[in-house]
A and B are shown apart, each in its own frame.
Chain A
């Protein structure tokens, strides 16, 4: 099979999907899959490639979402203009958390990310300028096209697809560069990597900052599409869980792993919410918990790796070689 066949096939299907399945529900579902694929792919940079499990990634998602809507509410800017501010804030926070914890064992990093995400949620809930417990709303009616406020999900779909391609391209460039090799080495054996001159702490920090910036984009896109953010949707732990489980289910550390995870899990969640209503949320997350345990116990490399090994039993362990 030629290299690049599967990505091309995916791109063709992705471009055609909203035209083939064109009900509003289906188009909205498609946009959501892409949005979560962006978030999960962003998580993958630190959690998958660098092997540092962030359990509080929603803090960067929240930075993006709040930056976008705060700029609209306070300055009247189109929410899109808040996106770069969210990225900057996220990178700053990542540097602040990563500098002390990425030098320690990975447990500290995971615990610190949970604590900081929860801290931000509590702080934001008490800040009136950020809407407090009520949250912030975006433009009700679009003033210009720059507000990116549409009733149909179709424009969002193609916009998110373009952003996802950008995120995957950035990740792919990183994977092929010295940094990509270094991260794999650090994940495999940090002590050996350091003996070969790899500044492990620095490269993990770079990966964390890159991941934070990309995650913030997903948050801004969420705020732009839904026009609303509150401490639960923007900084609640469940969004962190979604990013993490999609990447881990699809295949952490594989370029297309998070996308595969999003394609499987987002429709499942949307359908179960539609069928079961409010009661469904508890069941969905119970199922998430069970799935995460099963992945951890039986197949920590994820579904995509399983498929790859099935398709090419002789190819050995090259992780970077997807499709």
Chain B
């Protein structure tokens, strides 16, 4: 078991953003989290990364209870994440951004630079390595987020809507990148709005609605689940998604 959430609940005042959700992720899995805005998937995600402390329940990483550890300690234990709205270090060059991640495993700037270059090549950013991060557009920033996270040598990578705001072509390229990352042996948790991405990548999908988990299974299973159709997709969207799945699977 690489990452496990045991009946996580998170309340803000009287509002239950996440209500008793559990999750077990094995090495090599690709898990998708979906749900409409405000369904609680982002809150759940942030409880996994350490940005939020759950009101009750526990999080385990590699068998260790990390419920009360901050994001920096979870990163040291092999968990990495991207942010939905990219948080680049604007005053630094692209390669320096990635070096911050690489420094987690080596204090030597030369080693960190070499590691960063390696990751930039994988993510297709090596040509811009000396450009200021502030000169990148949205697709570049999204890639930089992933590159920085990869440079920490994670066991599990959590992607928070890494493809929102990309064009169709860019989404295809990003899907290919995520597949490459998975081939490196990195476990993935993906929060995504775009159905097509979840269907083509995730092996298992968890659907959130009003803080609860309402369905879980393969993409095909959840898109045909009545609760999901009623609560989230709506009938027309469900039909479209199912068609998309059929085409994607062919």
Q: Which residues of A contact B (CB under 8 A)?
A: 176-178, 181-182, 184-185, 187-189, 191-200, 316-319
Distance of A200 Cα from B70 Cα, bound (Å): 11
Question: B131 to A195, Cβ gap below 8 A?
Answer: no
Distance of A248 Cα from B93 Cα, bound (Å): 23
Rounded to whole Å, the gap between the CB of A216 and the closest CB of chain B is: 27
Question: B93 to A193, Cβ gap below 8 A?
Answer: no
- Report 8 cross-chain contacts, Cβ distance below 8 Å, ordered by A residue: A178-B108, A178-B112, A191-B71, A192-B83, A195-B81, A196-B149, A317-B91, A317-B132
Question: B89 to A316, Cβ gap below 8 A?
Answer: no
Instruction: For B72, give its contact among A177, A194, A318 (CB under 8 Å).
Output: A194
Within 8 A of A (CB), among B66-123: 70-72, 75-76, 80-81, 83, 87-93, 96, 99-101, 103-104, 107-109, 112
**Chain B residues in 8 Å Cβ range of A189:** 87-90
Cβ of B10 within 8 Å of any chain A Cβ, yes or no, is no
The verdict on A317 contacting B89 (CB below 8 Å), with A181-B109, A197-B76 known, is: no
Instruction: For B96, give its contact among A181, A194, A198, A199 (CB under 8 Å).
Output: A181
Q: Which residues of B contact A (CB under 8 A)?
A: 49, 51, 70-72, 75-76, 80-81, 83, 87-93, 96, 99-101, 103-104, 107-109, 112, 130-132, 134-135, 148-149, 151-152
Distance of A189 Cα from B75 Cα, bound (Å): 16
Distance of A193 Cα from B104 Cα, bound (Å): 11
Instruction: For A177, give its contact among B70, B96, B107 (CB under 8 Å).
Output: B107
Distance of A106 Cα from B188 Cα, bound (Å): 35
Given contacts A182-B103, A191-B87, A195-B81, 5 further A-B contacts (CB under 8 A): A176-B109, A188-B89, A196-B100, A197-B104, A316-B131
**Chain A residues in 8 Å Cβ range of B70:** 194
Distance of A185 Cα from B109 Cα, bound (Å): 14
**Chain A residues in 8 Å Cβ range of B76:** 197
Distance of A216 Cα from B24 Cα, bound (Å): 53
**Chain B residues in 8 Å Cβ range of A194:** 70-72, 75
The verdict on A317 contacting B92 (CB below 8 Å), with A195-B75, A195-B83, A196-B148 known, is: yes
Question: B72 to A181, Cβ gap below 8 A?
Answer: no
